[in-house]
């Protein structure tokens, strides 16, 4: 998990690192294992991996440089980094469950891959399943 467009490299930070914060915010192995277990509990694909976070909507122009800088990223959003920062500062384990509703490509700011109602239903199903694993 890292910030997509932050650049404090002139001050000795890694590309994407927020000053005085870690380079990445990782969930515990136990939390990640529970996410892996979701695949057998929900009726849609589950993937576990890195999400990058940015301060702007992920259009094609924003996405391509992020793909080059963070080739292992599975997705991008504008919220996860804030959640991770608060959890890290409070010493709380965390995860981010996402239903990907739109893709980063031409017209990304105008088209959705999945409608909001279906994305919300997938997210709710995943959250209920994850909570049952606790």
What is the Cα–Cα distance from 60 to 108, expressed in whole angstroms?
Answer: 7
Q: How confident is the model at residue 61 (pLDDT cuts 50, 70, 90)?
A: confident
What is the reported pLDDT for 105? 61
- Work out the number of other CB atoms within 10 angstroms of the CB of residue 131: 9
**Residue 104: what pLDDT?**
65
The residue segments making up the domain with residue 62 are 2-132
- The H or E element spanning position 2 is strand 2-3
Q: How many domains does the chain have?
A: 1
pLDDT of amino acid 73: 86
Write the CATH number for 67.
3.40.50.1580
Render pLDDT for 73-112 as a digit per residue (tens, 0 to 9): 888 888 888 999 999 999 999 999 888 776 666 555 555 5
Would you call 76 exposed, middle or buried from its count of C-beta atoms within 10 A (0-12, 13-18, 19+)?
buried
Position 1 scores a pLDDT of 47
How do residues 2-43 score in pLDDT, each as one tens digit? 444 568 999 999 888 889 999 999 999 999 999 999 989 999
In this predicted structure, what is the pLDDT of residue 125?
95
Which pair of tokens denotes residue 131?
Answer: 């909570």
Q: What is the separation, in whole angstroms, between the first and last Cα of the chain?
A: 23
Distance CA(58)–CA(48), nearest Å, equals 20
């Amino acid at each position: 998990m890292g910030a997509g467009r932050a650049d404090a490299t002139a001050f000795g930070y890694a590309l994407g690192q927020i000053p005085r914060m870690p380079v990445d915010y990782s969930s515990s192995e136990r939390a990640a294992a529970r996410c892996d277990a979701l695949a057998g509990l929900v009726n849609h694909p589950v993937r576990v991996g890195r999400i990058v976070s940015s301060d702007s909507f992920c259009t094609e122009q924003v996405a391509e440089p992020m793909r080059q800088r963070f080739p292992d990223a599975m997705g991008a959003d504008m919220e996860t980094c804030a959640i991770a920062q608060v959890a890290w500062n409070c010493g709380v384990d965390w995860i981010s469950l996402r239903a990907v509703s739109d893709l980063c490509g031409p017209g990304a700011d105008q088209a959705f891959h999945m409608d909001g109602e279906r994305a919300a239903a997938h997210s709710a199903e995943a959250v209920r399943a994850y909570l049952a694993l606790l």
